[in-house]
Protein backbone atom coordinates (compact mmCIF):
# COMPACT_ATOMS: atom_id res chain seq x y z
CA UNK A 1 0.00 0.00 0.00
CA UNK A 2 1.40 3.40 -0.93
CA UNK A 3 1.28 6.12 1.74
CA UNK A 4 -0.02 5.63 5.22
CA UNK A 5 -3.74 6.27 4.90
CA UNK A 6 -4.46 5.13 8.47
CA UNK A 7 -4.92 8.73 9.60
CA UNK A 8 -6.87 9.66 6.51
CA UNK A 9 -9.61 7.06 6.25
CA UNK A 10 -11.79 5.41 8.84
CA UNK A 11 -11.67 1.64 9.12
CA UNK A 12 -15.15 1.39 7.60
CA UNK A 13 -14.19 3.80 4.85
CA UNK A 14 -11.08 1.77 4.02
CA UNK A 15 -13.08 -1.45 3.84
CA UNK A 16 -15.63 0.20 1.54
CA UNK A 17 -12.79 1.54 -0.64
CA UNK A 18 -11.13 -1.86 -0.88
CA UNK A 19 -14.42 -3.55 -1.87
CA UNK A 20 -14.93 -0.88 -4.53
CA UNK A 21 -11.36 -1.30 -5.86
CA UNK A 22 -11.85 -5.08 -6.01
CA UNK A 23 -15.16 -4.72 -7.87
CA UNK A 24 -13.66 -2.26 -10.34
CA UNK A 25 -10.73 -4.60 -10.89
CA UNK A 26 -13.07 -7.45 -11.83
CA UNK A 27 -14.95 -5.22 -14.27
CA UNK A 28 -11.72 -3.90 -15.72
CA UNK A 29 -10.28 -7.38 -16.29
CA UNK A 30 -13.49 -8.63 -17.92
CA UNK A 31 -13.68 -5.58 -20.19
CA UNK A 32 -10.01 -5.79 -21.15
CA UNK A 33 -10.27 -9.52 -21.92
CA UNK A 34 -13.27 -9.06 -24.21
CA UNK A 35 -11.65 -6.19 -26.08
CA UNK A 36 -8.30 -7.98 -26.28
CA UNK A 37 -9.87 -11.08 -27.83
CA UNK A 38 -11.68 -8.96 -30.40
CA UNK A 39 -8.51 -7.11 -31.37
CA UNK A 40 -6.47 -10.33 -31.51
CA UNK A 41 -8.98 -11.92 -33.86
CA UNK A 42 -8.86 -8.82 -36.06
CA UNK A 43 -5.11 -9.29 -36.33
CA UNK A 44 -5.65 -12.94 -37.28
CA UNK A 45 -8.07 -11.90 -40.02
CA UNK A 46 -5.63 -9.40 -41.52
CA UNK A 47 -3.96 -10.34 -44.80
CA UNK A 48 -0.91 -8.27 -43.84
CA UNK A 49 0.11 -10.02 -40.61
CA UNK A 50 2.75 -12.74 -41.17
CA UNK A 51 2.13 -16.36 -40.20
CA UNK A 52 4.74 -16.39 -37.42
CA UNK A 53 2.92 -13.56 -35.68
CA UNK A 54 -0.44 -15.24 -36.18
CA UNK A 55 0.86 -18.42 -34.61
CA UNK A 56 1.91 -16.45 -31.54
CA UNK A 57 -1.54 -14.80 -31.38
CA UNK A 58 -3.27 -18.21 -31.46
CA UNK A 59 -1.01 -19.36 -28.68
CA UNK A 60 -1.99 -16.37 -26.55
CA UNK A 61 -5.69 -16.93 -27.24
CA UNK A 62 -5.40 -20.56 -26.11
CA UNK A 63 -3.52 -19.85 -22.89
CA UNK A 64 -5.50 -20.47 -19.71
CA UNK A 65 -4.08 -17.32 -18.09
CA UNK A 66 -5.10 -14.37 -20.30
CA UNK A 67 -2.67 -11.86 -18.74
CA UNK A 68 -0.18 -11.82 -21.64
CA UNK A 69 -3.02 -11.61 -24.16
CA UNK A 70 -4.53 -8.64 -22.33
CA UNK A 71 -1.20 -6.88 -21.89
CA UNK A 72 -0.46 -7.25 -25.61
CA UNK A 73 -3.87 -6.34 -27.05
CA UNK A 74 -5.90 -4.26 -24.58
CA UNK A 75 -4.78 -0.88 -25.98
CA UNK A 76 -2.61 0.86 -28.58
CA UNK A 77 0.79 2.22 -27.65
CA UNK A 78 0.83 5.99 -27.26
CA UNK A 79 3.56 8.62 -27.44
CA UNK A 80 4.96 9.39 -23.98
CA UNK A 81 7.89 11.54 -22.81
CA UNK A 82 10.20 9.35 -24.88
CA UNK A 83 7.98 8.60 -27.87
CA UNK A 84 6.65 5.11 -28.65
CA UNK A 85 8.08 2.46 -26.33
CA UNK A 86 7.05 -1.01 -25.20
CA UNK A 87 7.82 -4.69 -24.96
CA UNK A 88 8.66 -6.40 -28.22
CA UNK A 89 5.96 -8.88 -29.23
CA UNK A 90 2.70 -9.24 -31.13
CA UNK A 91 -0.25 -6.95 -30.56
CA UNK A 92 -1.01 -3.21 -30.68
CA UNK A 93 0.45 -2.63 -27.20
CA UNK A 94 3.82 -4.06 -28.24
CA UNK A 95 6.66 -2.97 -30.46
CA UNK A 96 6.69 -4.93 -33.71
CA UNK A 97 6.89 -4.40 -37.45
CA UNK A 98 3.20 -3.51 -37.62
CA UNK A 99 3.01 -0.96 -34.80
CA UNK A 100 6.20 0.60 -36.19
CA UNK A 101 4.55 0.64 -39.63
CA UNK A 102 1.36 2.24 -38.31
CA UNK A 103 3.30 4.94 -36.43
CA UNK A 104 5.37 5.70 -39.53
CA UNK A 105 2.34 5.78 -41.81
CA UNK A 106 0.62 8.18 -39.44
CA UNK A 107 3.71 10.41 -39.30
CA UNK A 108 4.08 10.23 -43.09
CA UNK A 109 0.42 11.24 -43.56
CA UNK A 110 0.90 14.16 -41.19
CA UNK A 111 4.06 15.30 -42.98
CA UNK A 112 2.37 15.10 -46.38
CA UNK A 113 -0.59 17.13 -45.10
CA UNK A 114 1.58 19.69 -43.30
CA UNK A 115 4.52 20.27 -45.67
CA UNK A 116 3.50 21.68 -49.03
CA UNK A 117 5.46 22.72 -52.10
CA UNK A 118 8.80 21.14 -51.21
CA UNK A 119 10.58 17.79 -51.04
CA UNK A 120 9.90 16.20 -47.65
CA UNK A 121 13.00 14.73 -46.02
CA UNK A 122 13.49 12.59 -42.88
CA UNK A 123 16.55 11.12 -41.14
CA UNK A 124 16.58 7.70 -39.45
CA UNK A 125 18.97 6.10 -36.95
CA UNK A 126 18.99 3.00 -34.76
CA UNK A 127 20.85 1.62 -31.74
CA UNK A 128 22.12 -1.81 -30.71
CA UNK A 129 18.86 -3.29 -29.46
CA UNK A 130 17.47 -6.49 -30.90
CA UNK A 131 15.42 -5.66 -34.02
CA UNK A 132 16.38 -1.95 -33.97
CA UNK A 133 18.01 -2.17 -37.40
CA UNK A 134 15.03 -4.05 -38.87
CA UNK A 135 12.58 -1.56 -37.34
CA UNK A 136 14.64 1.31 -38.77
CA UNK A 137 14.50 -0.31 -42.21
CA UNK A 138 10.72 -0.76 -41.91
CA UNK A 139 10.48 2.93 -41.02
CA UNK A 140 12.58 3.90 -44.03
CA UNK A 141 10.52 1.65 -46.31
CA UNK A 142 7.19 3.15 -45.25
CA UNK A 143 8.43 6.75 -45.53
CA UNK A 144 9.85 6.12 -48.99
CA UNK A 145 6.66 4.40 -50.11
CA UNK A 146 4.84 7.61 -49.19
CA UNK A 147 7.03 9.74 -51.45
CA UNK A 148 9.32 10.98 -48.69
CA UNK A 149 13.11 11.14 -49.10
CA UNK A 150 14.92 9.18 -46.39
CA UNK A 151 18.45 9.67 -45.04
CA UNK A 152 19.37 6.44 -43.22
CA UNK A 153 22.49 5.85 -41.14
CA UNK A 154 24.30 2.76 -42.51
CA UNK A 155 25.22 1.54 -39.01
CA UNK A 156 24.05 2.08 -35.45
CA UNK A 157 24.63 5.59 -34.16
CA UNK A 158 23.80 7.59 -31.00
CA UNK A 159 20.43 9.32 -30.71
CA UNK A 160 21.97 12.83 -30.34
CA UNK A 161 23.60 12.43 -33.76
CA UNK A 162 20.14 11.83 -35.21
CA UNK A 163 18.94 15.08 -33.62
CA UNK A 164 21.95 16.89 -35.08
CA UNK A 165 21.53 15.27 -38.51
CA UNK A 166 17.92 16.44 -38.83
CA UNK A 167 18.95 20.09 -38.68
CA UNK A 168 22.25 19.61 -40.52
CA UNK A 169 20.56 17.86 -43.46
CA UNK A 170 17.56 20.24 -43.30
CA UNK A 171 15.09 17.43 -42.73
CA UNK A 172 11.47 17.91 -41.73
CA UNK A 173 11.41 15.01 -39.31
CA UNK A 174 13.39 12.07 -38.01
CA UNK A 175 13.12 8.76 -36.18
CA UNK A 176 15.44 6.64 -34.09
CA UNK A 177 14.48 3.09 -33.14
CA UNK A 178 15.52 2.56 -29.53
CA UNK A 179 14.16 2.01 -26.03
CA UNK A 180 16.93 4.07 -24.45
CA UNK A 181 17.92 2.53 -21.08
CA UNK A 182 15.01 0.08 -20.73
CA UNK A 183 15.66 -3.67 -20.23
CA UNK A 184 16.46 -5.86 -23.23
CA UNK A 185 12.83 -6.93 -23.80
CA UNK A 186 11.91 -3.39 -24.86
CA UNK A 187 12.25 -1.38 -28.03
CA UNK A 188 10.78 1.86 -29.25
CA UNK A 189 10.42 4.68 -31.71
CA UNK A 190 11.48 8.25 -30.96
CA UNK A 191 10.01 10.72 -33.45
CA UNK A 192 11.51 14.17 -34.08
CA UNK A 193 10.43 17.37 -35.80
CA UNK A 194 12.44 19.70 -38.04
CA UNK A 195 13.99 21.49 -35.04
CA UNK A 196 15.79 18.29 -34.03
CA UNK A 197 13.58 17.89 -30.96
CA UNK A 198 11.20 15.09 -30.09
CA UNK A 199 7.57 15.65 -30.98
CA UNK A 200 5.62 17.91 -28.65
CA UNK A 201 2.02 19.16 -28.83
CA UNK A 202 0.38 19.63 -31.19
CA UNK A 203 2.54 17.45 -33.45
CA UNK A 204 2.56 14.36 -31.20
CA UNK A 205 -1.23 14.37 -30.80
CA UNK A 206 -1.75 15.08 -34.49
CA UNK A 207 0.42 12.11 -35.44
CA UNK A 208 -1.56 9.88 -33.08
CA UNK A 209 -4.78 11.16 -34.68
CA UNK A 210 -3.40 10.20 -38.08
CA UNK A 211 -2.48 6.76 -36.76
CA UNK A 212 -5.93 6.29 -35.26
CA UNK A 213 -7.52 7.32 -38.54
CA UNK A 214 -5.92 4.33 -40.29
CA UNK A 215 -8.45 1.56 -40.82
CA UNK A 216 -5.89 -1.21 -40.52
CA UNK A 217 -2.52 -2.48 -41.63
CA UNK A 218 -3.80 -2.55 -45.19
CA UNK A 219 -3.48 1.25 -45.09
CA UNK A 220 0.25 1.03 -44.36
CA UNK A 221 2.52 1.26 -47.41
CA UNK A 222 5.21 -1.29 -46.58
CA UNK A 223 6.65 -1.65 -50.11
CA UNK A 224 9.64 0.73 -50.37
CA UNK A 225 10.72 3.10 -53.11
CA UNK A 226 14.43 2.29 -52.82
CA UNK A 227 15.42 5.24 -54.96
CA UNK A 228 14.25 7.54 -52.17
CA UNK A 229 16.44 5.96 -49.46
CA UNK A 230 19.86 7.65 -49.18
CA UNK A 231 22.82 6.68 -46.99
CA UNK A 232 24.11 9.25 -44.49
CA UNK A 233 27.85 9.82 -44.87
CA UNK A 234 30.53 10.49 -42.25
CA UNK A 235 30.35 14.20 -43.14
CA UNK A 236 27.52 14.52 -40.59
CA UNK A 237 29.68 13.07 -37.81
CA UNK A 238 32.59 15.31 -38.72
CA UNK A 239 30.31 18.35 -38.52
CA UNK A 240 29.05 17.17 -35.12
CA UNK A 241 32.60 16.75 -33.73
CA UNK A 242 33.45 20.27 -34.90
CA UNK A 243 30.50 21.66 -32.93
CA UNK A 244 31.53 19.74 -29.80
CA UNK A 245 35.04 21.13 -29.99
CA UNK A 246 33.67 24.68 -30.08
CA UNK A 247 31.93 24.32 -26.73
CA UNK A 248 34.72 22.62 -24.74
CA UNK A 249 36.32 25.14 -22.33
CA UNK A 250 39.94 25.25 -21.12
CA UNK A 251 41.32 23.21 -24.00
CA UNK A 252 44.81 24.32 -23.00
CA UNK A 253 44.36 22.23 -19.84
CA UNK A 254 43.61 19.19 -22.01
CA UNK A 255 46.91 19.71 -23.82
CA UNK A 256 48.78 19.70 -20.50
CA UNK A 257 46.72 16.84 -19.06
CA UNK A 258 46.31 14.74 -22.20
CA UNK A 259 47.42 11.61 -20.33
CA UNK A 260 44.73 11.87 -17.67
CA UNK A 261 43.32 8.38 -17.12
CA UNK A 262 39.74 7.95 -18.36
CA UNK A 263 37.56 4.82 -18.32
CA UNK A 264 34.62 4.38 -20.68
CA UNK A 265 31.93 1.73 -21.21
CA UNK A 266 29.33 1.76 -23.96
CA UNK A 267 27.27 -0.93 -22.14
CA UNK A 268 26.94 -2.87 -25.44
CA UNK A 269 25.35 0.20 -27.07
CA UNK A 270 25.87 2.74 -29.84
CA UNK A 271 28.22 4.95 -27.82
CA UNK A 272 31.22 2.90 -28.91
CA UNK A 273 30.82 4.35 -32.42
CA UNK A 274 31.43 7.95 -31.32
CA UNK A 275 32.46 8.58 -27.70
CA UNK A 276 36.05 7.24 -27.98
CA UNK A 277 36.64 9.07 -31.27
CA UNK A 278 35.24 12.30 -29.84
CA UNK A 279 37.51 12.10 -26.77
CA UNK A 280 40.59 11.30 -28.81
CA UNK A 281 39.77 14.08 -31.23
CA UNK A 282 39.93 16.52 -28.32
CA UNK A 283 43.41 15.28 -27.47
CA UNK A 284 42.85 12.72 -24.70
CA UNK A 285 45.39 9.90 -25.11
CA UNK A 286 44.80 7.62 -22.12
CA UNK A 287 41.34 6.16 -22.61
CA UNK A 288 40.56 2.67 -21.29
CA UNK A 289 37.51 0.99 -22.85
CA UNK A 290 35.75 -1.84 -21.03
CA UNK A 291 36.29 -4.66 -23.51
CA UNK A 292 33.61 -6.95 -22.06
CA UNK A 293 30.98 -4.32 -22.93
CA UNK A 294 32.50 -2.91 -26.12
CA UNK A 295 30.65 -5.03 -28.68
CA UNK A 296 27.11 -3.83 -29.48
CA UNK A 297 24.66 -6.49 -28.30
CA UNK A 298 20.92 -6.12 -27.73
CA UNK A 299 20.96 -8.87 -25.12
CA UNK A 300 23.25 -6.76 -22.89
CA UNK A 301 24.93 -9.94 -21.58
CA UNK A 302 27.07 -8.36 -18.82
CA UNK A 303 24.31 -6.34 -17.11
CA UNK A 304 20.79 -6.91 -15.82
CA UNK A 305 19.72 -3.57 -17.26
CA UNK A 306 21.71 -1.21 -19.53
CA UNK A 307 20.92 1.77 -17.30
CA UNK A 308 23.93 3.76 -16.05
CA UNK A 309 21.82 5.02 -13.12
CA UNK A 310 22.27 1.59 -11.52
CA UNK A 311 25.49 0.85 -9.65
CA UNK A 312 25.49 -2.83 -10.66
CA UNK A 313 25.44 -1.78 -14.31
CA UNK A 314 28.54 0.36 -13.72
CA UNK A 315 30.42 -2.33 -11.79
CA UNK A 316 32.95 -3.36 -14.44
CA UNK A 317 33.85 0.23 -15.27
CA UNK A 318 34.21 1.20 -11.61
CA UNK A 319 36.38 -1.83 -10.85
CA UNK A 320 38.68 -1.07 -13.78
CA UNK A 321 38.95 2.59 -12.78
CA UNK A 322 39.85 1.62 -9.22
CA UNK A 323 42.46 -0.86 -10.45
CA UNK A 324 44.25 1.64 -12.72
CA UNK A 325 43.71 4.71 -10.50
CA UNK A 326 41.77 6.57 -13.18
CA UNK A 327 40.33 10.07 -12.74
CA UNK A 328 36.92 9.61 -14.32
CA UNK A 329 34.46 6.82 -15.20
CA UNK A 330 31.88 7.23 -17.97
CA UNK A 331 29.20 4.80 -19.16
CA UNK A 332 26.48 5.50 -21.72
CA UNK A 333 23.15 3.77 -22.27
CA UNK A 334 22.33 1.89 -25.51
CA UNK A 335 21.28 4.91 -27.58
CA UNK A 336 23.84 7.19 -25.89
CA UNK A 337 21.59 9.97 -24.71
CA UNK A 338 22.27 9.27 -20.99
CA UNK A 339 25.59 8.91 -19.22
CA UNK A 340 26.67 7.94 -15.73
CA UNK A 341 29.85 9.38 -14.17
CA UNK A 342 32.05 7.98 -11.42
CA UNK A 343 34.67 10.02 -9.54
CA UNK A 344 37.10 9.44 -6.64
CA UNK A 345 36.41 10.63 -3.11
CA UNK A 346 39.03 11.97 -0.70
CA UNK A 347 40.27 8.43 0.07
CA UNK A 348 40.66 7.47 -3.61
CA UNK A 349 37.57 5.24 -3.72
CA UNK A 350 35.21 5.61 -6.67
CA UNK A 351 31.54 6.44 -6.28
CA UNK A 352 28.79 7.34 -8.73
CA UNK A 353 27.50 10.86 -9.09
CA UNK A 354 23.74 10.91 -9.34
CA UNK A 355 22.18 12.89 -12.16
CA UNK A 356 21.51 15.91 -9.97
CA UNK A 357 25.11 16.02 -8.73
CA UNK A 358 26.56 15.67 -12.22
CA UNK A 359 24.36 18.39 -13.70
CA UNK A 360 24.98 20.73 -10.75
CA UNK A 361 28.75 20.24 -11.00
CA UNK A 362 28.64 20.83 -14.74
CA UNK A 363 26.69 24.06 -14.23
CA UNK A 364 29.01 25.19 -11.42
CA UNK A 365 32.01 24.74 -13.74
CA UNK A 366 30.32 26.60 -16.60
CA UNK A 367 29.12 29.48 -14.45
CA UNK A 368 32.41 29.98 -12.60
CA UNK A 369 34.51 29.89 -15.77
CA UNK A 370 32.56 31.98 -18.24
CA UNK A 371 30.95 35.38 -18.54
CA UNK A 372 27.54 34.95 -20.03
CA UNK A 373 25.39 37.85 -21.22
CA UNK A 374 22.45 38.98 -19.11
CA UNK A 375 20.00 37.50 -21.58
CA UNK A 376 21.47 33.99 -21.18
CA UNK A 377 19.51 31.16 -19.57
CA UNK A 378 19.74 27.54 -18.49
CA UNK A 379 16.98 24.94 -18.31
CA UNK A 380 16.02 21.93 -16.24
CA UNK A 381 12.98 19.82 -15.41
CA UNK A 382 10.70 20.33 -12.42
CA UNK A 383 12.01 17.18 -10.70
CA UNK A 384 15.68 18.16 -11.07
CA UNK A 385 17.63 19.63 -8.12
CA UNK A 386 16.89 23.21 -7.13
CA UNK A 387 20.59 23.72 -6.40
CA UNK A 388 20.86 24.70 -10.06
CA UNK A 389 18.15 27.33 -9.57
CA UNK A 390 20.14 28.75 -6.64
CA UNK A 391 23.37 28.94 -8.64
CA UNK A 392 21.67 30.55 -11.64
CA UNK A 393 20.12 33.16 -9.38
CA UNK A 394 23.51 33.94 -7.81
CA UNK A 395 24.96 34.57 -11.28
CA UNK A 396 21.98 36.64 -12.40
CA UNK A 397 20.84 34.10 -14.99
CA UNK A 398 17.38 32.77 -15.70
CA UNK A 399 16.71 29.13 -14.88
CA UNK A 400 13.66 27.81 -16.69
CA UNK A 401 11.86 24.73 -15.36
CA UNK A 402 9.95 22.49 -17.76
CA UNK A 403 7.91 19.33 -17.54
CA UNK A 404 9.85 16.07 -17.41
CA UNK A 405 11.31 15.13 -20.78
CA UNK A 406 13.99 16.84 -22.84
CA UNK A 407 11.48 17.50 -25.58
CA UNK A 408 10.00 20.24 -23.40
CA UNK A 409 13.44 21.79 -22.89
CA UNK A 410 13.94 21.73 -26.66
CA UNK A 411 10.50 23.30 -27.13
CA UNK A 412 11.55 26.11 -24.78
CA UNK A 413 14.78 26.59 -26.75
CA UNK A 414 12.75 27.00 -29.92
CA UNK A 415 10.52 29.62 -28.28
CA UNK A 416 13.53 31.63 -27.03
CA UNK A 417 15.73 31.19 -30.10
CA UNK A 418 17.01 34.55 -31.32
CA UNK A 419 15.81 36.24 -28.12
CA UNK A 420 18.04 34.77 -25.42
CA UNK A 421 21.25 32.74 -25.36
CA UNK A 422 20.95 29.11 -24.32
CA UNK A 423 23.82 27.82 -22.16
CA UNK A 424 23.01 24.29 -20.98
CA UNK A 425 20.26 22.01 -19.72
CA UNK A 426 19.94 18.87 -17.66
CA UNK A 427 17.64 16.50 -15.84
CA UNK A 428 18.02 14.19 -12.86
CA UNK A 429 17.82 11.04 -14.99
CA UNK A 430 21.39 11.41 -16.34
CA UNK A 431 20.56 13.62 -19.31
CA UNK A 432 22.70 16.69 -20.16
CA UNK A 433 23.11 19.10 -23.03
CA UNK A 434 25.60 21.93 -23.49
CA UNK A 435 25.19 24.24 -26.47
CA UNK A 436 22.24 24.29 -28.85
CA UNK A 437 23.48 22.31 -31.85
CA UNK A 438 21.68 19.20 -30.55
CA UNK A 439 18.10 19.46 -29.31
CA UNK A 440 18.03 16.38 -27.10
CA UNK A 441 20.09 15.06 -24.22
CA UNK A 442 23.53 14.17 -25.51
CA UNK A 443 25.86 11.71 -23.79
CA UNK A 444 28.60 12.04 -26.42
CA UNK A 445 29.20 15.75 -25.80
CA UNK A 446 28.57 15.25 -22.05
CA UNK A 447 31.42 12.72 -21.90
CA UNK A 448 33.67 15.20 -23.70
CA UNK A 449 32.65 18.01 -21.37
CA UNK A 450 33.20 16.00 -18.19
CA UNK A 451 36.56 14.73 -19.41
CA UNK A 452 37.56 18.37 -20.00
CA UNK A 453 36.37 19.21 -16.48
CA UNK A 454 38.50 16.40 -15.02
CA UNK A 455 41.52 17.70 -16.95
CA UNK A 456 40.92 21.28 -15.79
CA UNK A 457 40.60 20.15 -12.16
CA UNK A 458 43.81 18.14 -12.37
CA UNK A 459 45.53 21.09 -13.99
CA UNK A 460 44.70 23.05 -10.82
CA UNK A 461 45.98 20.24 -8.60
CA UNK A 462 42.43 19.31 -7.62
CA UNK A 463 39.82 16.65 -8.35
CA UNK A 464 36.18 16.73 -9.36
CA UNK A 465 35.41 15.67 -5.79
CA UNK A 466 37.17 18.79 -4.49
CA UNK A 467 35.01 20.87 -6.80
CA UNK A 468 31.85 19.07 -5.67
CA UNK A 469 32.49 19.96 -2.04
CA UNK A 470 33.44 23.52 -2.95
CA UNK A 471 30.11 23.87 -4.73
CA UNK A 472 28.23 22.61 -1.68
CA UNK A 473 30.00 25.02 0.66
CA UNK A 474 29.35 27.96 -1.64
CA UNK A 475 25.67 27.07 -1.97
CA UNK A 476 23.31 24.74 -0.09
CA UNK A 477 24.07 21.03 0.19
CA UNK A 478 21.21 19.42 -1.74
CA UNK A 479 20.80 15.67 -1.91
CA UNK A 480 18.21 13.63 -3.75
CA UNK A 481 16.76 10.14 -3.68
CA UNK A 482 14.63 8.31 -6.24
CA UNK A 483 12.23 5.43 -5.65
CA UNK A 484 10.70 3.49 -8.54
CA UNK A 485 7.71 1.21 -8.03
CA UNK A 486 7.19 -1.06 -11.04
CA UNK A 487 3.61 -2.04 -11.90
CA UNK A 488 3.42 -3.91 -15.21
CA UNK A 489 0.60 -4.60 -17.63
CA UNK A 490 -3.03 -3.52 -17.70
CA UNK A 491 -3.53 -4.18 -14.00
CA UNK A 492 -0.36 -2.27 -13.17
CA UNK A 493 -1.53 0.70 -15.21
CA UNK A 494 -4.72 0.85 -13.16
CA UNK A 495 -2.76 0.56 -9.92
CA UNK A 496 -0.54 3.49 -10.89
CA UNK A 497 -3.58 5.61 -11.73
CA UNK A 498 -5.19 4.69 -8.41
CA UNK A 499 -2.04 5.62 -6.49
CA UNK A 500 -1.82 9.01 -8.16
CA UNK A 501 -5.48 9.71 -7.40
CA UNK A 502 -5.02 8.78 -3.74
CA UNK A 503 -2.12 11.21 -3.39
CA UNK A 504 -4.18 13.85 -5.20
CA UNK A 505 -7.42 13.37 -3.29
CA UNK A 506 -5.97 12.70 0.18
CA UNK A 507 -2.61 14.50 0.27
CA UNK A 508 -0.41 14.33 3.38
CA UNK A 509 -0.47 17.24 5.80
CA UNK A 510 2.85 16.23 7.37
CA UNK A 511 5.82 14.09 6.32
CA UNK A 512 8.42 13.01 8.91
CA UNK A 513 6.85 15.51 11.26
CA UNK A 514 7.37 18.47 8.90
CA UNK A 515 4.34 20.42 7.70
CA UNK A 516 3.51 20.37 4.02
CA UNK A 517 3.36 24.08 3.21
CA UNK A 518 2.92 24.01 -0.60
CA UNK A 519 1.43 21.58 -3.07
CA UNK A 520 1.74 21.74 -6.84
CA UNK A 521 -0.71 19.74 -8.92
CA UNK A 522 0.31 19.92 -12.57
CA UNK A 523 -2.70 17.92 -13.68
CA UNK A 524 -5.01 20.58 -12.25
CA UNK A 525 -2.52 23.30 -13.18
CA UNK A 526 -2.65 24.68 -9.67
CA UNK A 527 -0.32 25.57 -6.80
CA UNK A 528 -1.74 25.80 -3.26
CA UNK A 529 -0.08 27.66 -0.40
CA UNK A 530 -1.30 25.70 2.63
CA UNK A 531 -0.26 28.48 5.03
CA UNK A 532 -2.36 31.22 3.41
CA UNK A 533 -4.78 29.07 1.43
CA UNK A 534 -3.87 30.97 -1.73
CA UNK A 535 -4.19 29.14 -5.04
CA UNK A 536 -2.12 30.10 -8.07
CA UNK A 537 -2.27 28.87 -11.65
CA UNK A 538 0.83 27.05 -12.92
CA UNK A 539 2.40 28.31 -16.14
CA UNK A 540 3.32 24.90 -17.55
CA UNK A 541 1.10 22.58 -19.55
CA UNK A 542 -0.94 20.06 -17.59
CA UNK A 543 0.76 16.80 -16.62
CA UNK A 544 0.13 14.06 -14.06
CA UNK A 545 2.69 15.28 -11.51
CA UNK A 546 2.31 16.15 -7.81
CA UNK A 547 4.83 18.00 -5.66
CA UNK A 548 4.85 18.55 -1.90
CA UNK A 549 7.12 21.17 -0.30
CA UNK A 550 7.87 20.79 3.41
CA UNK A 551 8.53 23.48 5.98
CA UNK A 552 12.24 22.57 6.18
CA UNK A 553 12.77 22.98 2.40
CA UNK A 554 12.43 19.30 1.47
CA UNK A 555 10.48 18.42 -1.67
CA UNK A 556 8.71 15.22 -2.71
CA UNK A 557 7.56 14.78 -6.32
CA UNK A 558 5.34 11.95 -7.57
CA UNK A 559 4.66 11.06 -11.19
CA UNK A 560 4.03 8.03 -13.42
CA UNK A 561 6.90 7.32 -15.80
CA UNK A 562 6.20 8.26 -19.39
CA UNK A 563 8.38 5.47 -20.77
CA UNK A 564 8.21 2.58 -18.29
CA UNK A 565 5.49 0.81 -16.23
CA UNK A 566 6.38 2.50 -12.95
CA UNK A 567 5.47 5.30 -10.59
CA UNK A 568 8.38 7.49 -9.48
CA UNK A 569 9.00 9.27 -6.18
CA UNK A 570 11.64 12.02 -6.18
CA UNK A 571 12.88 13.06 -2.74
CA UNK A 572 14.99 16.21 -2.30
CA UNK A 573 16.47 17.39 1.02
CA UNK A 574 19.06 20.03 1.87
CA UNK A 575 21.26 21.46 4.59
CA UNK A 576 24.08 23.97 5.03
CA UNK A 577 27.67 22.73 4.61
CA UNK A 578 29.86 25.16 6.57
CA UNK A 579 33.15 23.44 5.71
CA UNK A 580 34.38 20.54 3.61
CA UNK A 581 35.38 18.67 6.78
CA UNK A 582 31.67 18.49 7.70
CA UNK A 583 30.72 16.75 4.48
CA UNK A 584 30.68 13.14 5.71
CA UNK A 585 28.47 13.85 8.72
CA UNK A 586 26.15 16.13 6.73
CA UNK A 587 25.93 13.53 3.97
CA UNK A 588 24.95 10.81 6.44
CA UNK A 589 22.31 13.05 7.99
CA UNK A 590 20.75 13.76 4.59
CA UNK A 591 20.82 10.06 3.67
CA UNK A 592 19.00 9.26 6.90
CA UNK A 593 16.43 11.93 6.18
CA UNK A 594 15.80 10.59 2.68
CA UNK A 595 15.41 7.08 4.12
CA UNK A 596 12.91 8.34 6.70
CA UNK A 597 10.83 10.10 4.05
CA UNK A 598 10.95 7.02 1.82
CA UNK A 599 9.85 4.77 4.68
CA UNK A 600 6.92 7.02 5.51
CA UNK A 601 5.53 7.52 2.02
CA UNK A 602 6.13 3.98 0.78
CA UNK A 603 4.58 1.35 3.02
pLDDT tens per residue across span 552-590: 999 999 999 877 789 999 999 999 999 999 999 999 999
Q: Has 180 been annotated as catalytic?
A: yes
Alpha-carbon distances of 31 from 27, 148, 491, rounded to whole Å: 6, 40, 12
Render pLDDT for 336-367 as a digit per residue (tens, 0 to 9).
999 999 999 999 999 999 999 999 999 999 99
* For residue 39, pLDDT beyond 60: yes
Render pLDDT for 426-470 as a digit per residue (tens, 0 to 9).
999 999 999 999 999 999 999 999 999 999 999 999 999 999 999
Q: Which residue ranges form the domains of the chain, and what is each CATH number?
A: 1-74 (no CATH), 80-233 (3.40.120.10), 239-474 (3.40.120.10), 477-601 (3.30.310)
Check: pTM over 0.95? Answer yes or no: no
Question: What is the rounded average pLDDT of the residues 500-518?
Answer: 94
Phi, psi of 581 (to 5 degrees): -65, -20
Alpha-carbon distances of 125 from 128, 173, 296, 335, rounded to whole Å: 11, 12, 15, 10
Q: Could you tell me the pLDDT band of residue 77, with boundaries at 50, 70 and 90?
A: confident
Question: What is the rounded average pLDDT of the residues 533-556?
Answer: 95
User: 3-state secondary structure string, 141-195?
Assistant: HHHHHCCCEEEECCCCCCHHHHHHHHHHCCCCEEEEECCCCCCCCEEEEEEEECC
Handedness of CA 386, 392, 394, 397 (dihedral sign): negative
Residue 326 near residue 297, CB atoms below 8 Å: no
* For residue 81, pLDDT beyond 80: no
Tell me what pLDDT residue 272 has: 98
Catalytic residue, from 180, 265, 476, 543: name it.
180
Amino acid sequence: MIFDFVNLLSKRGKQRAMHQIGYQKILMEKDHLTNSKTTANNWLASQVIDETSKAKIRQLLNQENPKELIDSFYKNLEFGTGGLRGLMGVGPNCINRYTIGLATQGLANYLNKTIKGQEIKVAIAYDSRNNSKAFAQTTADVFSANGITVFLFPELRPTPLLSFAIRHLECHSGVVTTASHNPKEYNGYKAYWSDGAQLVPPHDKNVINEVNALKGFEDVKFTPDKNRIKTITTEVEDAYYAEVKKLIPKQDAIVRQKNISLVYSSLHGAGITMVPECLRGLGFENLTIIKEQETPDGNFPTVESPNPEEKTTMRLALEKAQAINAELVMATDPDTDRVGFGIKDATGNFFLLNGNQAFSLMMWFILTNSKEPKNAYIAKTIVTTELVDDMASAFGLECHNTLTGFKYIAELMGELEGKKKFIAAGEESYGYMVGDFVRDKDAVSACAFFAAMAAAAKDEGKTLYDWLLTMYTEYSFYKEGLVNLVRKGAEGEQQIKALMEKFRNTPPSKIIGEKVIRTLDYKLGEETNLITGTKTKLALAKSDVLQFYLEDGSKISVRPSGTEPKIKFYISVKSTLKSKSDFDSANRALDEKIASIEKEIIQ
